[in-house]
Amino acid sequence: MNYTGPKVKLSRKLGFAMTPKARKYMDRKPYPPGQHGPVKRRAKLSDYGRQLLEKQRLRLQYNVHERQMQNYYREASRMAGNTGDNLVALLESRLDALVYRAGFAPSIYAARQYVRHGHIEVNGQKVDIPSYRVRPNDVIQVREKSRKLECFQNAVRTAQPVPYLEVSKADLSAKYLYLPPREEVPIVCEVPLVVEYYAR
């Protein structure tokens, strides 16, 4: 489910910029929202409160519904290895997440919209499902008809691709090289607390 509510206030609460607009506001006001500003003494969070906050941070960075997060956690817990690392790798393999990481979209919300509107191909085939799981060695590409659109040209100009994507700005394509380890994924989250939240 796509989150369509106000993003600046929520970004300040969670401590990361959900959109480029939120980033500008957070540069000016790098503290949580509230009428008393930065001087207000904030109540100390309980263990559950910290777990919930981190879970919300992770969920909203990938723009997934709570039920989807629960399903990803269950799958990650069944896989071999560290559950937290598995969870991040599964989320990062989503098509909309990789479109965003490749620099073809300014935010995860824009990436979802581009996928839904049929602008993205995987291995030469149009895919319009944001949650589609991309496999290592798959190639993500902006459709030829869409490459001249200003939104893609503007986004790719300032793109800073991640190590697990091999990006070609000339033809707006990206090859997914491998499942990324947690330390290579640029997210703001203490993943062990997310695992603790779902393991209750």
Using CA atoms, how far apart are residues 56 and 1, in angstroms rounded to an integer? 14
Checking if the pLDDT of 159 tops 90, the result is no
Question: In this structure, which amino acid lies at residue 16?
Answer: F
Q: Which element (helix H / strand E) includes 77?
A: helix 66-78
Do 133 and 71 contact (CB within 8 A), yes or no?
A: no
CATH number of 8-90+187-199, picked from 3.10.129.10, 1.10.1050.10, 3.40.50.2300, 1.10.3720.10: 1.10.1050.10
Domain with CATH 3.10.290.10 in the chain: 95-178
Homologous superfamily assigned to 95-178: RNA-binding S4 domain (3.10.290.10)
- Report pLDDT digits (tens) over 84-112: 999 999 999 999 999 999 999 988 889 99
pTM: 0.82
N-terminal to C-terminal alpha carbon distance within the chain: 24
Tell me the backbone φ, ψ of residue 136, rounded to 5 degrees.
-55, 140
> Tell me, what's the pLDDT at 137?
95
Checking if the pLDDT of 160 tops 70, the result is yes
- Report pLDDT digits (tens) over 111-157: 999 999 999 999 999 999 999 999 999 999 999 999 888 888 888 88
